Structure 1
Amino acid sequence: MVFGKSGKSPLFIATKEIGIASSSVFYNHQNSGRLVFNQQDLLDKSWHPPPPDSIKFNVDASLLCSYKGGVGSVCRDHRGRLLLAFERSCVHWDIAHLELLAIKTINEVLKDWMLEYNGIIIEGDSIKIIKLIHEKIKDGMEGMEDLSFTKNFNNVICNWVNRDSNKLADLCANYAILSSFNWEDVTLNKIPPNFLDLLKDESISCML
């Protein structure tokens, strides 16, 4: 789902079209009672960078049978560089609630310098929650004050992606079950090696 003001760059428009195409896979098939993901799989077999004038947040949530859960998000730029990764530990019984919380938590971690970007892309692998966000956007964000931060950007894309495109956010959500923290510097020795390795691999892939 794309919404915002004018001033779109050609590269952002191209990314927008991919977002619309992938979202349409869900909407084209919801009335028939079946979901077809073949087109989405072709579009998103791996993480894709945002346009140069935008940042991308990938979000995810994790929940254990003990009700211990976590939400996580990774923010990157068009070169795949880590701008911010955060995790929040929580206790709940509804994974859908946590998937939505992962998006809302962006409001708490957004930095002033991020507002200098023209656009923001939010991606998650929960179709139910992305559909809810789309519906709320159509209703003028009624009851979604926690998403008011999106009004600071000229262009906003909220898009469903498959898990292969959301691996780092999934890692963060699982780390969050143990502890809450923010990462803004990849040189910090507290960042797990498997996170850094995947970040490096995806950054290299997006430059090929």
Structure 2
Amino acid sequence: MGESENGFHAIWRCRASIKFWKKTIFWKHIKQIKDEDSCLVLNNLRNVLKRDDFELFAIISWQIWYIRNKTIRGEVEPKPEALVEWCYNFWGKSVVQNGKKDGGKLDRTRVKWEPPPPGSVKINVDAGCLEEGRSWISAAVVRDDRGSFVGGQVSCQNQPLSALGAELVAVREGLCLGWQMGLKSFSVESDCSSAVSLSNRPLVFCNELEGVITDIKNLVEKSGCKEISFVGREANCLAHGLAKTTSWKGVTACSVGCVPSELFSVYKAELICSL
């Protein structure tokens, strides 16, 4: 009360916006803002934050302004966690569309599964939805440097998750599988760019996803995982098919010792393309 309602206050100072910022790593920067010149604030943060972080900061700022105007018109305000997650998904999709991957270049020519380096193993992961988002299937497929099927795993998460949360759980389950198998050198691939980016960078969320991301980072440190990377759906067909097939069958949790018969043609096609 008593503070003027301008753009600066609406986005970074009012109580309605602060509850959103507290769910991000940017809150520490927001608290340090003293000058109320919006242009100066943005310029200073542009010099402090990495390019990708600044892009995400700008997206969240704009979304807070957008939501603020919708709320004034009587629409329901989203939960802070939902707003931040939406912003991260939006940012992740723009990264793929613009051909960037964590600040680097995304190889758009890669539309097939590729074997890992000699002596290494690759684990492809994906998530499938059950019961309209009330439970999710995580699928992982393990293949060696010749493309041979080493094993796989499916597991059911009996809890409501967002799509991004389910993809992060799939990454975590793939890492767990590699660690439990005692693999000395392996990589994990997912076709969810936002999940991959969150797995590879400092924590951005301060909500229920934080625990899953922390698990991922701990597993990377203690396992033989060398990389978590993004690939297009075309290069993740077997894991995607396993997640969908498991959803159809209603299987809750099991190890996969061989390629399911209904997915053998997918496995064979990926193997042939990789040669």
**Structure 1 length as normaliser, TM-score?**
0.69
- Correspondent of 2:142 among 68, 75, 85: 75
Instruction: Find out whether 1:176 has 2:243 as its counterpart.
Output: no
Partner of 1:7: none
CA distance in 1, matches of 2:202, 2:141: 23
Query: 1:46 and 1:194 mapped to 2: Cα distance?
Result: 20
> In the alignment, does 2:126 pair up with 1:60?
yes
Matched, 1:135 2:208: no
Relative contact order, CA 8 A, sep 6+: which one is greater? 1
Offset at residue 79 of structure 1 (A): 0.7
Task: Say which structure is richer in helix.
Answer: 2
Whichever residue aligns with residue 134 of structure 1, its letter is N
Equivalence map 1:34-53=2 (5 Å): 34=94, 35-37=97-99, 40=106, 42-53=108-119
Asked if 2 retains the 8 angstrom alpha-carbon contact of 1:49 and 1:77, the reply is yes
Aligned twin of 1:161? 231
Distance 1:121 1:145 in 2: 16
Give, in whole Å, the separation in 1 of the partners of 2:216 and 2:194: 18
Q: Measure how far apart 1:101 and its partner are.
A: 0.7
Take 1:75 and 1:126, find their aligned partners in 2: how far apart are those partners? Answer: 18
Structure 1's unaligned 5+ residue stretches are 1-26
Larger radius of gyration: 2
Pairwise CA RMSD: 3.3
Query: Contact (CA 8 Å) 1:107, 1:147: kept in 2 or not?
Result: no
1:77-96 alignment, distance < 5 Å: 77-91=144-158, 92-96=160-164
Aligned equivalents of 1:113 and 1:74: distance in 2?
13
Which ranges in structure 2 are unaligned for 5 or more consecutive residues? 1-51, 60-90, 204-209
- For residue 273 of structure 2, the aligned residue among 201, 205, 208 is 205
SS in 2 for 1:130: helix
* 1:130 CA drift (Å): 0.7
**Structure 2 CA distance for partners of 1:113 and 1:66, relative to 1, 3 Å:** closer
Shift of 1:132: 0.4
TM-score normalised by the chain length of structure 2: 0.53
The answer to whether the Cα contact below 8 Å between 2:124 and 2:174 also exists between their aligned partners in 1 is no
CA drift of 1:66 comes to: 5.4
CA distance in 2, matches of 1:66, 1:102: 15
1:128–1:81 CA distance, 2 compared to 1 (3 A): same
